Chain A
């Protein structure tokens, strides 16, 4: 609880002099200190510890104490192709899943943005998948996608299509993961887009209809300005969450067949609990952290400029 970390805003206690403001100071420290201490202990410290670990050859249960080996972990990871494979898998998954979720999500939001009876119930139903544990979703979709007994293949054959070997054939396994992720998270995009569509004023919509605007014109000039922010938010959140996806792959395919659906998180997990190579596992994890940080920053730069014009207007007093 260092004195420098917290500076009291004396404006809020301008009546207080002497004891009142010292009480105020203690109170502010109480507000921030426990959380900061906790987070430093549980987040900052382990993070830097793990960064240090990436530079050692620490192996759990290896007997000898870890030696400093510099960047060799990173080099070996690149050379072994594991990191490359997982990166490709993760990127493939992210691009496919996010693209489908965004398009489907917006379309479904449009369809649900009606004042029809029962829309309220449908909206609650639609929201359920994303609230369930991804692990649980992964496991029960494994049941649904079972080659012989699963509901999906039976439905396919019932309408005359060929059943698919979902989880054992490489391309299909990736398709399966994307499919399940789309099922679980399209509702997220739907939710955000629906909320955005709800903020469009009725008179604008009516004016457009009166002026015989086409659906595309309506979308571009009326709906999109209101949708832009939430949709970009949905895009940001889904992208980051897909990059760090773990539970779903673990449950649905276990990373298989082989390592064809082993995302980066799953790879780091394997190196930790299967191979016990803590040094390498930490390196993998840190690569992911850095990649995500970069992408978050890029995407936020893209989003934030939207706020600036408004800020400029406000600051000129208009």
Chain B
């Protein structure tokens, strides 16, 4: 009897702690979303308003914003993210397949080096690339930022997809070769379709990483190719503590990431760690 009660109490306690944990991590986001619908005055209210008359003025204000031109920047973020993701996937697929199926001299070292790029401090890349691009007049254009993002996206894609390619049984490829497929056709017709789920997941991770990136975007762009995170940083200094606008921008950056996260929720561990964990 007592044991039953004790176990029920434990269950309830665990359930409560679960809810609290969920709230701790989710509530700030909810609060930010709510605050984006408040006026400037409402955001300075004490005690903080939970019930209030929502307004769209922060969002409409963003449309009209010139400095920074937020909507243009927001679009840039997506354009650059998609561009970099597509290129990285193409190159990454090829090389991941290469690492999976072909032994090359120092292949292990090479693969390890590509993996280690994930640990590389971005600031160490920014400085020489900024200096070089400045000299080559390559600053503030989409292609430059796309190319730089490809560095990290390709290395991620290679490591992520190699595991998927590894899982394809060699006998499948050998059968295809016997049927007269060229090596490229084996890759393109047999293996590639089989790793499609991996490709989609890798694409989403690359998109997330590219949209969220800040330091490179801030250093290498100015007006034309500026991205949304840079606009957010500029907004802070331009309009001071206009929390409503800041929350609106944050919400606009959180929502796509939220959608993408839900899409890859089952692959999150693989995407964020070495993926050796099954």
Which A residues are closer than 8 A to B by beta carbons? 4-9, 12-13, 15, 20, 23-24, 27-28, 30-32, 34-35, 38-39, 42-43, 46-47, 49-50, 53, 58, 60, 108, 111-112, 114, 116, 118-119, 121-122, 124-136, 139-141, 143-144, 146, 148-149, 151, 154, 158, 183, 187-188, 191-192, 195-196, 199, 229-230, 233-234, 237, 240, 243-244, 246-247, 250-251, 265, 268-269, 272-273, 278, 281-282, 285-286, 288-289, 292, 296
- On whether the beta carbons of A136 and B132 are closer than 8 Å, the reply is no
Would you call A151 and B246 a contact (CB within 8 A)? no
Q: How many A-B residue pairs have CB under 8 A?
A: 271
A163 to chain B, nearest CB (A): 11
CA distance A188 to B268 in the complex (A): 9
Question: Interface residues, chain B, CB within 8 Å of chain A?
Answer: 11, 14-15, 17-19, 21-22, 24-26, 28-29, 31-32, 35, 43-48, 91-92, 94-95, 97-98, 101-105, 114, 116-117, 119-132, 134, 147-148, 150-151, 154-155, 158, 173, 177-178, 182-184, 187, 208, 211-215, 219, 229, 232-233, 236, 241, 243, 246-247, 250, 253-254, 257-258, 260-262, 265, 268-269, 272-274, 276-278
Could you tell me the dominant secondary structure of chain A's interface residues?
helix
Q: A43-B125, A268-B127, A289-B124 are in contact. List 13 more A-B contacts (CB 8 A).
A: A32-B95, A34-B95, A35-B158, A47-B128, A127-B265, A129-B29, A131-B258, A135-B229, A139-B233, A140-B247, A154-B48, A187-B25, A289-B121
- Whether the pair B48, A46 counts as a contact (CB closer than 8 A) is no
What is the minimal beta-carbon distance from A64 to any residue of chain B, in angstroms?
Answer: 16
A13 contact set on B, CB distance < 8 A = 177, 183
Give the interface centre of A4, A38, A60 by most chain B CB atoms within 10 Å. A38
Which of these, A8, A111, A233, A269, contacts B102 with CB under 8 Å?
A8
Q: How far is the CA of A76 from the CA of B76 in the complex (A)?
A: 40
Give the nearest-CB partner of B93 in chain A.
A31
CB distance from A164 to the nearest CB of B (A): 16
Contacts of B258 in A (CB 8 A): 128, 131
Which 9 residue pairs of A and B lie closest in terms of their CB atoms, listed nearest first?
Answer: A31-B98, A133-B212, A50-B128, A46-B128, A285-B124, A244-B121, A122-B22, A125-B26, A35-B95
A272–B178 CB distance below 8 A: no
Asked if B122 contacts A244 (CB within 8 A), the reply is yes
Q: Is there an interface contact between A131 and B208, defined as CB atoms closer than 8 Å? A: yes
Docked Cα-Cα span, A272 to B261, in Å, equals 34
Complex Cα spacing A6 to B229, Å: 41
With both beta carbons as reference points, the residue of chain B lying nearest to A119 in the complex is identified as B18
> Do the beta carbons of B31 and A49 come within 8 Å of each other?
no
Q: Would you call B25 and A183 a contact (CB within 8 A)?
A: yes
The chain A residue with its CB closest to the CB of B134 is A60
B12 to chain A, nearest CB (A): 10
A43 to B120, CA, bound (A): 11
A233: chain B residues at CB < 8 Å are 273-274, 277
Residue on A nearest B30 in the bound complex, by CB: A125
| Complex Cα–Cα for A34 and B93 (A) | 12
Roughly how many angstroms separate A287 CA and B236 CA in the complex, as a whole number? Answer: 31
In the complex with contacts A49-B132, A118-B18, A27-B184 CB distance below 8 A: yes
CB-defined contacts of B24 to chain A, threshold 8 Å: 183
Establish whether residues A195 and B247, one from each chain, have CB atoms under 8 Å apart when the complex forms: no
What are 15 A-B contacts with C-beta separation under 8 Å? A31-B97, A35-B94, A35-B95, A35-B158, A47-B125, A49-B132, A50-B131, A111-B18, A129-B25, A139-B232, A154-B46, A230-B277, A251-B236, A265-B215, A268-B123
Contact with A191, one of B173, B183, B268 (Cβ below 8 angstroms): B268
Residues of B within 8 A of A125 (CB): 22, 25-26
Q: Point out which of B11, B117, B120, B132 has the most chain A C-beta atoms below 10 A from its C-beta.
A: B120
Collect the chain A residues with CB atoms within 8 Å of residue B14's CB. Answer: 111, 114, 116
A82 to B260, CA, bound (A): 40
Closest to B129 in A: A46
Complex Cα spacing A132 to B251, Å? 10
Contact A12 B117 (CB under 8 A): no
Residues of B within 8 A of A268 (CB): 123-124, 127
Q: Is there an interface contact between A42 and B121, defined as CB atoms closer than 8 Å?
A: no
Q: Which residues on B sit within 8 Å (CB–CB) of A131?
A: 208, 257-258, 260-261
